[in-house]
Structure formats: structure tokens, C-alpha cells
Chain A
Amino acid sequence: MKKQNNSGSTMVSVIVAFVLLMIGIMMFTTVIYAVFDLTAEAERVRRKADTAMEAYYTGNLEEEREVLDGIWLKDQDSKTSFSISGKVYEGSYQGYRIYFFADK
């Protein structure tokens, strides 16, 4: 009976394991980069909202325009309405848009 030749099989299995490990590490590195990007995105969103709010309250919005005039409040009970003299404005600061009411 011919003896089976197993020489080199350990080497092959080690190489396969090494390749798998490399793929795993590459995927993990990609995830880490994505995590850093998303963390920066979260920080950017939060900072943008904060600075825009600061600009709104200090009257330093970059852009301000009237979007709606003639606002009515409709009573759901009697279906009658009354008007209010305020208007809706859209303000923006560094691309962050907010809506607010004012009577200017």
C-alpha cells in the first residue's frame, strides 16, 4: 500500500489562515476608519447646530428671508380661525437652516 504524502499540508493551512487573518484585519481597519468618519460627522452636525443657534440668538444669521405671511390658527373644535400678525422666516448659518416666527 502506497503511503499518503502529507508534507506541506501544514504550510498550506498556515498560509490560508494567515490570508484569512489579513482579510479580517483589513475589514476591521476599514470599520475603524468608518467609525472615525462617523464620529467626526456627529461632531460636525452638533457643532453646526450649536453655532447656528448662537448666530440666531445673537442676530448674526448669514441669511434671513420671509417664507410665510398671513398665519391663521384654526380651532379644531369650532373650525373657526383667528389670525396672528407674525410671519415665518427662514434663517441659515453655514448651511444650517432654521425656521422662526417674528413680527417684523
Chain B
Amino acid sequence: MFTLKERLYRIGKDTKGDSMIVVLCILVVLIALAVTLLLSVSTLVGSARKNSVSERCRTMAVSFSDTLGEEILGDDSDDGIQDFVRRHITGKDLDITENRWICYDPSANSDLASATRTFTAESNSKELGDQLNGYEIHTEMYWIGDVDAEYHTRPDVVSDADYEGIELVVTVTAGKDDELFKVKTSYSLYVEDGVWRWMKEGQQ
């Protein structure tokens, strides 16, 4: 029987396999370092690609919002946005399938979701996303007014001029996969010689 001291001495003296243990330790450290580096750099590449898609979405959203803005601020056309907005807000000249557009009143805590209209952009009866490599454009609009005002409670007795002061909020969203870019623009209404005119209030 060996004493504990003798046993420790023998273990210390037996150096077989030491080099292998050292090498395995070094390998473990190298592998851990390599995996960490690869993970960080793949995150970097992923972020650069995401940023690239995000820039494209930003360009689309801003340019589409500007185009819509020009339509809203410009002269009215028969099947344009101004005509659509006027008909749906006033409830006049609506087709049988169309509903009147209710207003959103922040002071009355009205429901924003039910006051918001969502539009998808199409061309040749196909959504833009199917024709632009998956880049989609969606537009949301709501108008801010007073829910207790006559134009909201009794729209049939008011004239178009009574709507002066209402606000139209247009949010354009351009996106691909998880990348989204939103541009929110608000316009306020004034009436000039009985004709609705919109004025840009602000953009976010």
C-alpha cells in the first residue's frame, strides 16, 4: 500500500498523455474563438444586407408618399385620391358597395382601427409585391374630425364647406419580409370657392 504522498508523487511523475491534453485544450480554445468570430461576422453581414433592403424600402416609401402628396395637393381628377376621399368622407355619390368613412376623434377616444382604411397598391390587377421582387406598398388613411359635429352625425344636411379643418392622415408602408419603413403625413382641409383643398401639415 502506498501512502497518499507516494501516490501523488507517482501521478506527478507519470507524464504520458500530457502533450495530448495540452493540445486538446488549445483546440477547444481555437474552436470556441473561431465559432465566436464566425457568429459575429455573419451577424455583421446579415445586418449589412438588412440595411440594404431597408434603404430600398425607405426610398419606395418616401417616393410613394411624395407621389401621393402631389395627388392630394394638386388638382382633383375624377377617379383620383381627392375624389375618393371627398366621396367617402361626405358619404355623397357613393356606390352601392361603398360605406361611409367614419372619422377618428382623439378627444372622444374613438376607435382608430375602425376609422382607418387600408389600401394595397396594384398594377395590371396584380399587387405590386408580385411584380417588384417582393417589395410591397401599403397605405393606411384616416381622417380626424369631431364625432359630435354635424358633418359626422347628420352628413346629409351639411355642405362640403362645413368639413373645413378636418385632417387627413396618410401612412405609407413599404416593406419586404420583416423590413418595413413607414412615412406618415398629415394634411388639413380648407375650402376655396366651395372646392376642397388640402394643405400639408407635417411628415414623420
What count of chain B residues pass the 8 Å CB interface test? Answer: 60
A42 and B47 contact, CB distance less than 8 A: yes
* Residues in chain B near residue A16, CB distance under 8 A: 20
Number of interface residues of A (CB under 8 A): 57
Contact of B120 among A46, A68, A76 (CB under 8 A): A76
| CA–CA, A99 and B131, complex, Å | 11
Q: Which residues of B contact A34 (CB under 8 A)?
A: 38, 41
In the complex, chain B residues whose CB is within 8 Å of the CB of A102: 63, 67
> How many pairs, one residue from A and one from B, have CB atoms within 8 Å of each other in the complex?
169
For residue B27, which residues in chain A have a CB less than 8 angstroms away from its CB? 20-21, 24
Q: B residues 25-83 with Cβ under 8 Å of A?
A: 26-27, 30-31, 33-34, 37-38, 41-42, 44-45, 47-49, 51-52, 55-56, 59-60, 63-64, 66-68, 70-71, 77, 79-81, 83
**Chain B residues touching A, majority SS:** helix
Cβ < 8 Å to A, chain B residues 2-25: 15-17, 19-20, 22-24
What residues of chain A have their CB less than 8 Å away from a CB belonging to chain B? 9-10, 13-14, 16-18, 20-21, 24-25, 27-28, 31-32, 34-35, 38-39, 41-43, 45-46, 48-49, 52-53, 56, 67-86, 88, 96, 98-103
